Amino acid sequence: MNQINLKSLKSFYDLKSRLLKVFLTFAVLVIIGIWSLEGSKSHINPLDIIAYPMMVTIFSIGTIVLYLYPKSLKYIENITFYTFAIYCFANFQAMILGMPFFIIDLYSVSTFSQWLPMIYVSAFIMLETRNAIIASVLFYLSLVCSTFLYEAMQYVPDFVLENLYPAIKNICFAQPIYILMVLGIAVLKEQIIEVNTEAKDMTIAATTDYLTGICNRRFASQSLDKFLNLTKIENLPLTIFVVDIDHFKKINDSFGHDIGDRVLINIANFLRHNLRDSDLLGRWGGEEFILILQKTDLQTACHLAERLYKQNSELIHEQVGQVTFSIGIATSKADDTTDSLFKRADAALYRAKQTGRNHFEVDEQLEQQEQ
Indicate if 287 belongs to the active site. yes
What is the Cα–Cα distance from 177 to 1, expressed in whole angstroms? 39
47-53: long-range contacts (C-beta < 8 A, 24 or more apart)? Answer: 47/90, 47/91, 47/94, 47/101, 47/102, 51/87, 51/90
Please, what's the b/e burial string for 66-102 (b: 16 or more CB within 10 A of its CB; e: otherwise)?
Answer: beeeeeebeebbebbbebbbebbebbbbbbbebbeeb
Q: CA-CA distance, 178 to 88, in Å (whole number)? A: 16
Beta strands in the chain (DSSP E): 238-245, 280-285, 288-294, 325-331, 360-362
CB 305 within 8 A of CB 312: no
Sequence-distant (6+) residues with CB within 8 A of 150 are 96, 97, 156
User: From the candidates 128, 151, 198, 287, which is the catalytic residue?
Assistant: 287
DSSP conformational letter for 23: H
Q: Taking the mean position of all CA atoms in its chain, how far away is CA 61?
A: 25
Angle of the 257-273 helix axis to the 298-312 helix axis, nearest 10: 130
In contact, 360 and 278? CB cutoff 8 Å = no
CB-CB contact of 72 with 15 (8 Å)? no
Distance separating alpha carbons of residues 151 and 145, to the nearest angstrom: 10
Q: Which residues are catalytic?
A: 287
